[in-house]
């Protein structure tokens, strides 16, 4: 993860006393509820299914450096259940259902309405793996998205704003 932190230190007026990596640099305005952590990593604070359900819920019970996680229904060949993944890009921490095989291609759906997360492009990590998309705004604007791989354990993902990649993990 790269970012220009050279001039950030003197701008760190939002420091609220915590030493956790959750201190936000609000000088660097990001769209759509994205938050840039002090380390330069981006966290997502809202994320919508194609039908407009926010998959980031305060009541999911799972926290990642204080941020609520992203709840996704994951269906493999034998198992199905809700997985809560970290909203911090690059953090592979997750809770919930976990008995899938590494590399197993799963079906990812909205836990609220069951809609499939739309396929964006093949991932390439294993045959048939696809990057699927969630929307950063409740208008569900194409190109303002988080895309993740539907192959269990693959961390390839992107955050895009108007189709421009603002954070990626390959």
- Per CB under 5 A, residues contacting Zn ion are 49, 51, 53, 110, 112-113, 123, 125, 129, 149, 151, 154, 156
* CA distances to 95, 97, 104, 114, 170 from 82, in Å: 9, 6, 16, 11, 24
Instruction: List the structure tokens of 35.
Output: 């938050």
In terms of Cβ atoms closer than 10 Å to its own Cβ (0-12, 13-18, 19+), residue 31 is exposed
Query: How far apart are CB 115 and Zn ion at their closest, in Å?
Result: 5
Nearer to Zn ion, 21 or 112 (CB): 112
Closest to Zn ion by CB, 55 or 62: 55
* Residue 109 C-beta: closest distance to Zn ion, Å: 8
For Zn ion, the closer CB: 23 or 120: 120
Task: Answer for the pair 6, 30: CB distance below 8 angstroms, yes or no.
Answer: no
User: In the structure encoding, which two tokens stand for residue 151, read together?
Assistant: 């192959």
- Residue 140: name the closest of 54, 69, 72, 67 by CA: 54
Q: Rounded to the nearest whole angstrom, what is the least distance from the CB of residue 43 to Zn ion in the complex?
A: 21
Nearer Cβ to Zn ion (28/142):
142
Residue 17 beta carbon to Zn ion: minimum distance, rounded to whole angstroms: 37
């Amino acid at each position: 993860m790269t970012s220009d932190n050279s001039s950030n230190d003197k701008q760190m007026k939002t420091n609220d006393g915590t030493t956790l990596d959750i201190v936000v640099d609000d000088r660097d305005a990001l769209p759509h509820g994205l938050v840039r952590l002090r380390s330069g990593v981006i966290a997502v604070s809202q994320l919508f299914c194609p039908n407009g359900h926010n998959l980031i819920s305060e009541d999911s019970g799972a926290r990642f450096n204080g941020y609520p996680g992203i709840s996704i229904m994951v269906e493999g060949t034998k198992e199905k259940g809700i997985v809560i993944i970290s909203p911090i890009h690059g953090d592979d921490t997750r809770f919930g259902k976990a008995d899938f095989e590494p590399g197993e291609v799963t079906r990812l759906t909205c836990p609220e309405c069951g809609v499939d997360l739309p396929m964006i492009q093949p991932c390439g990590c294993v045959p048939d793996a696809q990057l699927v998309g969630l929307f950063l705004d409740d208008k569900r604007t194409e190109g303002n998205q988080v895309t993740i791989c539907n192959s269990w354990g693959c961390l390839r993902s992107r955050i895009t704003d108007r189709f421009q990649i603002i954070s990626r993990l390959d």
